Structures are given as C-alpha cells and as structure tokens.
Amino acid sequence: MSNQPSDPLAGVDALLAAVEAGHVLPAPAERVRLREAAGLTQAAVAQALGVRIASIQAWEEGRAEPKPERLPAYRRLLEGLAHRHPAPAPHRPHTPPPTGTLHPPAAPTRTLPAAEPAVPDPAPAPTPTSAPPSAPGRPGARRASTPRSPARKIATPTFDPRFPNGPLAVLDGDGSAYGAEGIVLDCPATTIVELVEWTLEESGLGAPKLHRYGKDSDPLIVLTAAAAVKLGLPESLEDRRGLRLAEDHPVVKQVLKAKWRLTQRGFGPWARIYRKVQGRDRQCVQLAILPWDALDSRSWPGVSEAEMAPADIARVLGVYAQRVLTPRGGTAVNGLELMTALRPPTKPVRDEGTGNWVSGHNAGSLGTEPVAPAPPEARPEHPVVVETGWTGGFVNEEAYQWVRDIDLLTGQEAALPYAVGLDLNTAFLAASARLVVGLSEPEHFVRPRFYPKVPGSWLADLSHVELDPRLPSPFTPTGERPTGPAWYQTYTVAYAQELGHDVEILEAYLRRETGAYLDPWHDRLKTAYVDTLADLGVTKDLTDAEFLAAMEVHKRADPALAAVLAAIKGTIKGGIGKLFERPQGKGYRDGEEWPAMKRPTWAPWIRNAVISKARVNMHRKLSTMAELTGMYPLAVLSDCVVYPSPSTSPLDFLPYAETGRPIPGTFRLGPTPGLAKLEGVQPMTWAVDLMEQGYNPARHIKGDGHDAVFDDGE
C-alpha cells in the first residue's frame, strides 16, 4: 500500500515522539465531551485561544488540527478540563445512602469566563470540589436531569461558601427549585412563610456584596404559575393599577402574623419579605412571581413559562445575576440598585468622642438622603418650583429627535438606492464613562466664569452659534438652532467652546462635591455587555464584515443569552431614565412630593449630564463624517442615525484609512459601547416619503419599515 511507511520502526518512533512532545490530542469526541462537561461554549474556547469559532468546530469534528502556534494552548486546555472532568468510570458500584442521609450538591463547576484570554492552568482548581456539607434539615440537591433543557453553565461565578447554591432559584409546582448552576433543590414549603424560612435557613442561596461597604444580595425565589397557586397566591392580580395583593388577602395576613414585613410596595410581582436586622444578620427574601408579569417581555424577551422551562429561566437569571446583580425588580430598578450596590451611601467610621464605630458618609456616593434639584433642573410640578414661583426656564437635555429639512436633500442623495441606519451600542453607557457629576446641594451663581470641567447647569445664549443646517444643532434635542438664552449642562456649553465660540454665562447652579459616580456602574455593565455578546459569537477580534455577519445571527445563536443581553441593555437605559422619574397617577397635584423624588438616587442633573454628553458625542461623529466624506445624515433618533447609501452595507460609505483601519472620530463598527452596528436598511424612496410627511426614518428603519419598533433612548 502506497501510504504505508517504508520503515515501520521509524514510523512508530515518530509517533511516540509526537506523543511525548504533546502533539497528539484526544479524539474529537473526547474534545467535545470535555468542553461540554465544563459548560463551555465553542465561542468561549475560541475567544480564549484567539481563533474563529469555525476552527473550534473543525477541531472537534476531526476535519482539522490546531496549527503549531495554537496546539500547546489547546492541549493545555484539554488537559486542564480532563483533570477536572475525568471520563466516567464504567461499572461504578452504587451503594444506596442510609435513610435520612442528606446529599450536599456538587459545587458549581468552575468554567472558563467567556472573555478571559488566558488558558486555564491544568492544576486542580483551588475551589472545593464539592459544596459545604448541608446543614441539618437542609434538603438534598440534585443536578437537573429532566428532558426540559436543564440550565447550561455559561460563566464562572465567584464562589462563596455561605451561598453554595448560587444567587437564586426558580420554584416549580412539584417543589423543585432550579438553581442557576443546574442544580435542583427539593423545597418542601407549602406556604409563603415556610418558603421564606426555608430560603433563609436551608437553601444556601444568596450572593456576596459587590462593594466592601455594601450588603450581600438577598436570595431570589422565582415562582412559576403552579408554584404560586400551590402557595396560596392567585393566578393573576386583580389590582392592575397598584399591582399588589389586597391587605386583607390571606397570604398577606399570614406573612404579617408570622412577624414578617412587606416593603411599601406591598405584595406584588416583586415582593420583598423581611424582618428587622438583628445585629449583622439580615433576613430578607426577594420573590418574583412569573404569572404576575414580574419579567416584562420587553426587557426579558422569551423568558416566560410559555417559552422556557424553569431550569432555563434559572440559567438566564443566573447569568444576569453573576454579570450584573441578582434581580430585585424590573431592569430599570436593577439599574438604580446596581448604582447603589457599587457606590454604597455609608461606611463605618470611628466616633472620635466615644471610640465607637458609627455609620458615616461614603465619599463619592449620593448619600442616604435625597438632594433637592436646582429650580432649572426640576420640572413645573416639583415643589422647589411651585414653592419658589420659579419662571426662569428649565434644562432641556434630551436625546436627539431630528429630521433634516427635505429642501436640503440634494438630487444626488435622493438618487442613491438605500437608506442605512447605524445604531451606537449602549450610547448612554458610553457617555457615563469618566463622567464627573455633582453630588451635593446646588449653589447659585450670577455671571460666573465658565469652567468646562465643573459639572452644573448654566444659563447661556448659544443662538449666535451658526452651524451647517444639514446637521442637527448640538444644543437642542430637536436639532433646531436655539432662539435665545437657555439652561444647559456643562458638556453642551463646553462643546460650544470646542467649536470656537465665545460663551457668556448669565447664571449657574453648581455643586461643590463632585465625582465620577457612575464609573463602577459603567465598568460592570460594559463588561457584562461585551462578555455576553462574545458568548453569542460577536467578539472584538472580528473584521467589520465578520462583525456585521455575526450581528445578523447572534440572537439565534442562544435565545437565553440573547435575553440576558436585552436585559443588560434595559438595565442601562432604565437606570439612567429612573434618575429623573416624574410623578405618576391621575390624583397627583403640582407641588406635592411623589415617591420617586424621595430616593437618594433621584438625581435629574446626573441624567442631564449623561444625555448631554451622549448627544455631543453623536454630533461630533456626525461632523467628522461630513468633513471626511461629504455625507450628511437624513435623520437622528437618540443613538440611531440614517445615511443615504449606494448599497445595503455601511462598509460602502464609512471612511477607512489606506491601511484598511477605521478612521477615529467617525462611526466605527464593533461590539463595544459607543461603536456602531447596523440598525436597518430601507429603500431611499421610503425614507424620502417619510421625511416629506414629517416622520423620522430613524424611528422606523428597523424591521420591515412599517412599525415603530425603535424605542426612544437606548
């Protein structure tokens, strides 16, 4: 046979040398087994090794082998996984445990973080190979093995021996509580009170604090419809306005009789049940009730009992909890809660008089009490406006909603076949990076000098600034030129100076205590966003063409992770929005206080700063694009811009250097916050028709072009 070696002994020696040198890898089927045993995706392995997902697929199917420069790293990964996940021994004898023996759950398998570039060391992991022994009375835990798609582990959570079973569980009607790491706990509770006590005493659920001065996250129990009914709750809430059980409902009475308390929002879709802190022990359980729409479909697409099994819901919420925080309400609520968790308002300080440790202000936080806004930072209904009779106008820092005048559209532009929409990834998050904001009471100044690095609200006349009418004005949300003096946030006024115009300040409200309050919030959410996109196959190392192709299919790659990504975006947008939540309800009267304004995180001036910086960033890109390419936008809606285009691809009109690299300062494609992705494509005639009717093409360009699916904001 022609393929036989001429010297068999030499061939054997060469094969043994290859084995000795580590050039021979496990069989393809074993490579797949090891990766899946660790809960790693092909995208995670590809990210760690710096290769394409297609390469991992080829290696696992035996169609190709790693190149010499990748072989040692891949072999090291497989050896490390083999050490952690040895092949199951055949014919292992099984001895039934004695009656009453409790089985502690195996510790969550340590997996390679999706965005971690390093290859794991083959040495044994320092974390325990099994969870701490169950406390007396704790029911045993088992791994999910039902045919309902058990939760797949996606990232390595921080292991805390106090919370061996993760941050949360989804409770089904049969008493199975599905944890975030694929385990299943047996919950014997038949009432809400029993559920709360079991959660605190036996479940091993919870999560460690995110800041040294913060608090551990309360365990979350998510109730399916069957579990809710079993525990005595109605299938739906009759009070659709208040979204809570009546105070005389048997479950509410049962909770109060057992000396537990409910928060002011009562027993609703996100019910928090607690007792006063005894010493250092915090007793609190968060409930989320699925049949009461605790998980809004806009923020958590596809995360419902109709579309997911309880184990898969636990997986989605578990990944979110590990990357953001344990959910405590809607994504907007979580956005605010994350700010506080990362910037706790207090810290222990020593009283010099008594020597005792007391609670003191944590510098850089918003404190424990709400700070009143300056009159121009409020709105007509706010007490500070009503009580002072303020008539001096208000800051109007909002996102763009601008359409170019149809008369300024050239025939050459109208002749192009397509309108292409570009969307900036999490533009508000990008704007929050290194953003210095005010943290203390506002002080009033008359005709002060303008300082571009001092956060505040400034009264100035920018109507003399004349810019190209084919671009929106950077000073107003409508894009129209200002007509006289108006209140602006620091970034807006500083941009006028950057454009070379003199600015005279008439009045200002400034704050002495300042800081980059949102920095840790930005950093955590940026990492969560980028890592989740990477798990979906959209990584930083893709070319622009590969990025566009990956974005077309990323939501179909893993619907559960796509839901996590949507929730992260909802957390960003909602968190910024809730910094300025206005009164709700028909019974409200101007001048009355409302619940939202009593929160320390009710800070409209911080929201103003974020939106001002985001709008300025957008205008800066629009201007640079016009200078480099001569192209002008048709419309802008918040972080979406529409350009006329010769094709359906933005690659045909975005500027690139001779080296092929994107030019800084313009719209650049990529997965990180502030970079752009394709939002949608429509015929140019469609866009012109909308502009003639006074509609904004950026609002409708996504999808089939007929539905207003693009929401204001992020």
CATH code of the domain in which 47 resides: 1.10.260
- Tell me which residues of the chain have a pLDDT lower than 50: 1-6, 90-139, 145-156, 708-714
Do the domain assignments include residue 525?
A: yes
Among 328, 357, 375, the domain-final residue is 328
Do the domain assignments include residue 305?
A: yes
Q: Are residues 314 and 413 in the same domain?
A: no
Do the domain assignments include residue 489?
A: no
Q: Output the CA–CA distances (angstroms, integers) from residue 169 to 11, 487, 505, in the order listed.
A: 56, 48, 55
Q: Are residues 180 and 264 in the same domain?
A: yes
Do the domain assignments include residue 306?
A: yes
**pLDDT at 524 (0 to 100):** 97
Do the domain assignments include residue 236?
A: yes
Residue 287 parent element (H or E): strand 281-289
Q: What is the DSSP letter of 134?
A: P
3-state class (DSSP) for residue 384: helix
**Residue indicated by tokens 């915090």:** 282
**pLDDT at 364 (0 to 100):** 93
Do the domain assignments include residue 225?
A: yes
Q: Are residues 54 and 198 in the same domain?
A: no
Q: Do residues 425 and 617 lie in contact, with contact meaning Cβ atoms separated by under 8 Å? A: no
The phi, psi pair for 331, rounded to 5°, reads -60, -30
Q: What is the pLDDT of residues 73-123, one digit of tens each?
A: 888 898 888 888 887 754 444 333 333 333 333 333 333 333 333 333 333
* Mean pLDDT over the full length of the chain: 86
Burial class (CB in 10 A: 0-12, 13-18, 19+), 164: buried
Q: Are residues 688 and 610 in the same domain?
A: yes
**pLDDT at 61 (0 to 100):** 80
Q: Are residues 170 and 72 in the same domain?
A: no
**Residue indicated by tokens 């203390």:** 440
Q: Are residues 194 and 279 in the same domain?
A: yes
**pLDDT at 127 (0 to 100):** 35
Number of H helices, E strands in the chain: 20, 21
Q: Are residues 546 and 633 in the same domain?
A: yes
**pLDDT at 431 (0 to 100):** 97
Q: What is the amino acid identity at position 535?
A: D
Q: Do residues 650 and 434 lie in contact, with contact meaning Cβ atoms separated by under 8 Å? A: no
Residue 686 parent element (H or E): helix 684-692
Please tell me the pTM assigned to this model. 0.79
Q: Do residues 245 and 268 lie in contact, with contact meaning Cβ atoms separated by under 8 Å? A: yes
Among 270, 295, 328, the domain-final residue is 328
Domain that holds residue 270: 141-328
How many residues belong to the chain?
Answer: 714
Do the domain assignments include residue 37?
A: yes
Among 266, 297, 328, the domain-final residue is 328
Q: Do residues 187 and 176 lie in contact, with contact meaning Cβ atoms separated by under 8 Å? A: yes
Q: Are residues 54 and 197 in the same domain?
A: no
Do the domain assignments include residue 500?
A: no
Q: Are residues 150 and 40 in the same domain?
A: no
**pLDDT at 52 (0 to 100):** 76
What's the domain count of the chain?
A: 3
